[in-house]
Structure 1
Amino acid sequence: MNSYILRFFSYHQPRRIRVIESLLTNRLTVSNLFWGQRYGLLPWLGAARQLQRTEYDAVIKALADEQLITIDDEQQARLTVKGVQWQEAEQPYQPHFLDWYWLTNTNQFGQRLLLGMQVVSEYAYHNAKYAPVTVGYGHMLAVKRWFRQANHRQLAAAVYRDLDQLTTGLASVDQRLAVFLVDGLVGHDLPAWTNNQLAERLRLSQADMLALNHDLLLGVAAYCQHVPGPLQDLLGPLLNAGPLSKSTAVTLELYRQGAALEQIAARRRLKLSTVREHLLEVAILCPEQLDWNQLLPPAKRAALAKQYPDPDVTSWHFNSDEQDAGKAFFDYRLFQILRGREHHD
């Protein structure tokens, strides 16, 4: 875990310790999304949802004690020279499917995939007496429902074709992904390989196995989104329609229909601050869906540009004497997001 967490820090950029924790565990706030975008870590959102704070804090302390990172008074950490050398020596696994970070909760997705494939394997051997893998109760019900609705005569063959096509695609990207998927499944008289066994076979560290597992499940999810078949039937309900939360998507649709923010808040019985947060989420995750000239008119941008001339938006500090502090901060954060994108481009 130490090596896994170390990969999220930089030598050139101090990064907030709590932001990285929140990104990995999928704590969605506008602040976390903003800083995650600035750190280039947004695609890792939800990559370690089961990470506990006590475990994370212990890792941070160990990294600091080993002089791999330094921590300042604002609880920001950056790599030391020793930390950079450690990273370079480790040569961590580089994921291929992080652009699909928003598509599914890989922890939940993996549970349903594992049980579903076990059920089909045992059914193919006409075995009804076996111990199912341990998953959440909701996944057990979902797999039962999927199995009962399936065409039993063709199910095993159809799942085999699906897996064959999927693993062929994965192998064309990285052979290790296909091996990890196949050897990690539970089948009839065939236990899954342990992570230690897989790590030895694939010549990867345990830190890389964490990254590869998340990457693999995103790849499987992307396949399920695009390819009809039994895997899509089983796992499709766990796929998200887009990066935005459902509530944010509703706010965005009302805004695009021409409703003022105050009207949206009243209609949806939300605080105005919540509606603003929804639009800031859109600005970070789906900026192309906003009319920026309407949301942040050129005159307002010009005024903010004079107030915040530094191209490094991470150095800005909100400062306003406007009466409506909420609106002022909304405009400030929008401008910060916009300038950050322009500077990055």
Structure 2
Amino acid sequence: MDQDLIMFFLSAEQPRRIKVIENTLIQRRTVSTLFWGMRYQINDFMGLSPKLNSINTNHELVKLIQAGLVTKNDDSHYRLTSLGTARIHTHQPYFSSSTGLSANANYNLLQFRKRWLLALQITSEYSYRNQHYYPMLIGNRDDSFIKQWFHHFKNHGLVNEIKRGLNHFLSQLPNDLAWQFVKRLNGHSMTGMTLLQQSAVLKRTTGSLLIDEWYLFDNLIIFLLNHQSQYPACYDLLMGTHRDQVSNSARQTYQFFLQNNHLKLIANYRKLRLSTVKEHLLEVAILDFKTHAVFKQMFDRNTWQLLGNLYHGNLDNWQFDRIKQQRPDFDYFYFRMYQILRSNQDG
């Protein structure tokens, strides 16, 4: 991560672990990563940087600390200084990590982005009747999808639809973001700029431009969802990119839990370890707040009251040892579940 990308995911108020941020971006979906991603409000960014270089991140962190932009709380937690906060607001005026990427939570943004870029390139060349060009390579599966998509829509006003849809979307953007978006596109006699090339022109870091791009494509997905009847070919590019935040296996475990909340029985029936069943249920609770009323029923009134008496204040600072002193046999699973439920309740 470059410096702006690191600072974008840090906070002045909440000490944060860089490892959680990295694991989120590379999509290492452990329960710990999901829990702290929820606390940092960054789970919407899951999987957006699969080739992240953690060695480079450590070097940049040292520079940020030396420049007085970031402070180190302990061996693993970092915070923005007031100087760092001012800098990230200057370098990233439109977006913040706390606003999230709602479309990426439900659609594979990177997959859609590749499809969009290839679809526009092919349509642009088609509009000039040019058959001699090198199309982008986006992977066999999506290459085949775009080929079928193009043959289906090319004789149904495709060129005009994409022109109208693109202009409509761009008209809703600030001029500088519209410029960035257009300059990433490949078309007839037009090669899209890399982030490095845009960085040189705009005198901005590639990290801040990458953040802009995430939000631009997130907004484009939302735009197409809201205008699918106007731009059906463009909307069709989303086909097959939808995803459930909760894994299929965790969702299946939850369905069994709804029928029978005895965890050992669920583990036996699903042929899973008990620890895996617990991880599945924690994952569901973290990613689907609508399930919280169900999970709260796991706690009897006395236990819920005891936990409420023991734990208050900043949820990030709660320690499992506190309940263990009162109830030595208390299961960590219930402590973490209580944290999740209170996180939604308390904010």
- Residue deviations 1:225-266, cap 9 Å, x none? 4525222323321122x3222222222223234453333323
What is the identity, as a one-letter code, of the residue corresponding to 1:209?
Answer: L
Residue matched to 2:54: 53
The answer (yes or no) to whether the contact 1:311–1:339 under 8 Å persists in 2 is: no
Moved more, 262-271 or 108-117: 262-271
Residue matched to 1:195: 195
The answer (yes or no) to whether the contact 1:4–1:208 under 8 Å persists in 2 is: yes
Residue matched to 2:67: 66
Q: Structure 1 residue 210: deviation in Å?
A: 1.0
The answer (yes or no) to whether the contact 1:113–1:235 under 8 Å persists in 2 is: no
Residue matched to 2:32: 31
Count of matched residue positions in the alignment of Structure 1 and Structure 2: 337
The answer (yes or no) to whether the contact 2:124–2:159 under 8 Å persists in 1 is: no
- Residue deviations 1:187-226, cap 9 Å, x none? 1222224435656777865333111100112122334445
5+ long unaligned stretches in structure 1: none
5+ long unaligned stretches in structure 2: none
Paired with 1:89 and 1:120, the residues of 2 have a C-alpha distance of 37
SS in 2 for 1:237: coil
Instruction: Answer yes or no: is 1:5 the counterpart of 2:15.
Output: no
Q: Structure 1 residue 301: deviation in Å?
A: 1.1
Q: Mark the CA change 1:177 to 1:245 in structure 2 (over 3 Å): closer, same or farther.
A: farther
Instruction: Answer yes or no: is 1:165 the counterpart of 2:168.
Output: no
Q: Structure 1 residue 274: deviation in Å?
A: 1.6
Q: Mark the CA change 1:107 to 1:339 in structure 2 (over 3 Å): closer, same or farther.
A: same
Q: TM-score, normalised by structure 2?
A: 0.84
Residue matched to 2:218: 218
Q: Structure 1 residue 158: deviation in Å?
A: 3.0
The answer (yes or no) to whether the contact 2:107–2:242 under 8 Å persists in 1 is: yes
- Residue deviations 1:42-99, cap 9 Å, x none? 3333343332222222222222232322224331111234323433443543167722
The answer (yes or no) to whether the contact 2:199–2:205 under 8 Å persists in 1 is: yes
Paired with 2:281 and 2:6, the residues of 1 have a C-alpha distance of 31
Give 2:272's match in structure 1, choosing from 270, 273, 276.
270
Residue matched to 1:255: 257
The answer (yes or no) to whether the contact 2:169–2:220 under 8 Å persists in 1 is: no
Moved more, 95-104 or 115-124: 95-104
Moved more, 87-96 or 101-110: 87-96
Give 1:317's match in structure 2, choosing from 316, 319, 326.
319
Paired with 2:100 and 2:38, the residues of 1 have a C-alpha distance of 17
SS in 2 for 1:280: helix
- What is the root-mean-square deviation of aligned Cα atoms in Å? 2.8
Paired with 1:23 and 1:62, the residues of 2 have a C-alpha distance of 23
The answer (yes or no) to whether the contact 1:221–1:239 under 8 Å persists in 2 is: no
The answer (yes or no) to whether the contact 2:177–2:212 under 8 Å persists in 1 is: yes
Alignment of 1:1-345 (within 5 A): 1-94=2-95, 98-148=101-151, 150-154=152-156, 157-158=157-158, 160-162=160-162, 164-165=164-165, 167-169=167-169, 171-172=171-172, 174-195=174-195, 198=198, 205-225=205-225, 227=228, 229-240=232-243, 242-258=244-260, 260-290=262-292, 291-306=294-309, 308-319=310-321, 320=324, 328-344=331-347
Q: Structure 1 residue 173: deviation in Å?
A: 5.4
Q: Mark the CA change 1:201 to 1:59 in structure 2 (over 3 Å): closer, same or farther.
A: closer
Q: Mark the CA change 1:262 to 1:43 in structure 2 (over 3 Å): closer, same or farther.
A: same
Q: Mark the CA change 1:91 to 1:211 in structure 2 (over 3 Å): closer, same or farther.
A: closer
Q: Mark the CA change 1:238 to 1:30 in structure 2 (over 3 Å): closer, same or farther.
A: same
Q: Mark the CA change 1:75 to 1:28 in structure 2 (over 3 Å): closer, same or farther.
A: same
Q: Mark the CA change 1:318 to 1:141 in structure 2 (over 3 Å): closer, same or farther.
A: same
Q: Structure 1 residue 340: deviation in Å?
A: 2.3
What is the identity, as a one-letter code, of the residue corresponding to 2:212?
Answer: L
Identity level (%):
31
Q: Structure 1 residue 178: deviation in Å?
A: 4.1
The answer (yes or no) to whether the contact 2:121–2:188 under 8 Å persists in 1 is: yes
Paired with 2:180 and 2:100, the residues of 1 have a C-alpha distance of 15
What is the identity, as a one-letter code, of the residue corresponding to 1:41?
Answer: I
What is the identity, as a one-letter code, of the residue corresponding to 1:266?
Answer: N
The answer (yes or no) to whether the contact 1:49–1:107 under 8 Å persists in 2 is: no
What is the identity, as a one-letter code, of the residue corresponding to 1:341?
Answer: N
Paired with 1:212 and 1:301, the residues of 2 have a C-alpha distance of 43
Paired with 1:170 and 1:300, the residues of 2 have a C-alpha distance of 54
Paired with 1:175 and 1:83, the residues of 2 have a C-alpha distance of 26
The answer (yes or no) to whether the contact 1:92–1:208 under 8 Å persists in 2 is: no
Paired with 1:23 and 1:174, the residues of 2 have a C-alpha distance of 29
Q: Structure 1 residue 182: deviation in Å?
A: 3.3
Moved more, 166-175 or 7-16: 166-175
SS in 1 for 2:105: coil
Paired with 2:50 and 2:163, the residues of 1 have a C-alpha distance of 26
Q: TM-score, normalised by structure 1?
A: 0.85
What is the identity, as a one-letter code, of the residue corresponding to 1:43?
Answer: D
The answer (yes or no) to whether the contact 2:112–2:241 under 8 Å persists in 1 is: yes
